[in-house]
Amino acid sequence: MSDRADPEIIFERRGRVGLITLNRPKALNALTLSMIRAMHAQLQAWANDEAVTRVVVRGAGGRAFCAGGDIRQIYELGKAGRSADTLAFWLAEYQLDAYVKRYPKPYIALIEGVVMGGGVGISLHGDVRVASEKYMFAMPETGIGYFPDVGMSYALPRLPGRTGTYLAVTGARVGAGDALALGLATHAAKAAEFDAIVEALAQGDDIEATLAAHTPDPPETGPLVAERSLIDECFSAPSVHDILGRLDVAASSGASFPAETASLIRSRSPTSVLIAFEQMRRGVDLSFAEAMLTEYRLCTRVMHGHDFYEGVRSVIVDKDGKPDWRPATLDAVDPATIAAAFEPLSGSEPSFA
């Protein structure tokens, strides 16, 4: 039974399951404002539908669950001076993420391929996250002059050790094995099993028993787990400067991981890196709703700055890989600018509770 369908997102009721399929495979299922609003409305409807006892969300096409928000569209709106439209997107997205976090029924994300940015927001905050063999997580926002949002101020500081700070600052990629070890994923299964999982859940089968029947031995862990002690040592430093100093010392022995990590940080927007680091420092003490409000405050400031537009131009529009960050170095960033980005907005602020 199809409740609603359109070219971008498909909603179906299959037995006891409310099934959401993100359906922009050519765009790696990137979220548009209309998709976000439709998904939020459908989730609300299913929350009040006794026939639906669990929700499953997945992406079409096999390459990606969801690569994030439609950043190019946001870039074009911002460049055209339509700041109200850009903020409408972020607000709707963050409100959807907050609703997923507090959703009253089991919420299960079947994640095949890439999951980044907005895709993380509509999966990580749910109850169950099943990673396929092609799973690849990243929050790469510091590389486009933005910051790790969609609730990462709350989620990343709560990962084991200092792995959250590492992911926030670097935007590094994480495979299925590392994701399972860190708790980014709750289960791992072959993508070929996803249809059978949906069918069993549609029949009303027990969720954990269903997942256990379709999830083999966990995949091998990757470099993040292998380098965990070094990550914890370096990223427990009190500042980004000190993180880089510790990485440089570790790299002096010829080790590739600290050298590559330091190089990655230095390639990112200095302003974004410092914002991300501060998010991790503050986020430990924030509730989820407070973290989402903090991120909304940040986005209103970042969207009026230079680096977001320059980063998107470099990575997505012109694809030259040569961003002109302003300021260009960590030392040139005024600490007062970072502190001001976290300040409350003038006037009323949205609620994410």
pLDDT tens-digit series, residues 105-160: 999 999 999 999 999 999 999 999 999 999 999 999 999 999 999 999 999 999 99
Residues 300-308 have a mean pLDDT of: 95
Higher pLDDT, 322 or 215: 322
pLDDT for 349 beyond 90: yes
pLDDT of residue 6: 59
Residues 312-319 have a mean pLDDT of: 96
Contacts of residue 150, defined as CB under 8 A and 6 or more positions apart, other chains included, come to 93, 94, 97, 117, 118, 120, 121, 295
CB-based contact 276:147 (threshold 8 Å): yes
DSSP string, 54-117: EEEEEESSSSEEE--B-HHHHHHHHHTT-HHHHHHHHHHHHHHHHHHHT-SS-EEEEE-SEEET
pLDDT of residue 57: 99
Residues 33-58 have a mean pLDDT of: 98
Can you give the residue ranges of every domain in the chain?
2-341
Contacts of residue 57, defined as CB under 8 A and 6 or more positions apart, other chains included, come to 19, 20, 21, 22, 107, 108, 109, 110, 122, 123, 126
Q: How many CB atoms lie within 10 A of CB 202?
A: 18
User: Can you name the CATH fold of 2-341?
Assistant: 2-enoyl-CoA Hydratase; Chain A, domain 1 (3.90.226)
Residues labelled as active-site residues: 69, 118, 141, 149
Could you tell me what percent of the chain has a pLDDT over 70?
98
Residues 321-327 have a mean pLDDT of: 97
Pairing of strands 174-175, 136-138: antiparallel
pLDDT for 4 beyond 70: no
What is the chain's mean pLDDT, rounded? 96
CB-based contact 65:77 (threshold 8 Å): no
- Residue 1: pLDDT band (50, 70, 90) is very low
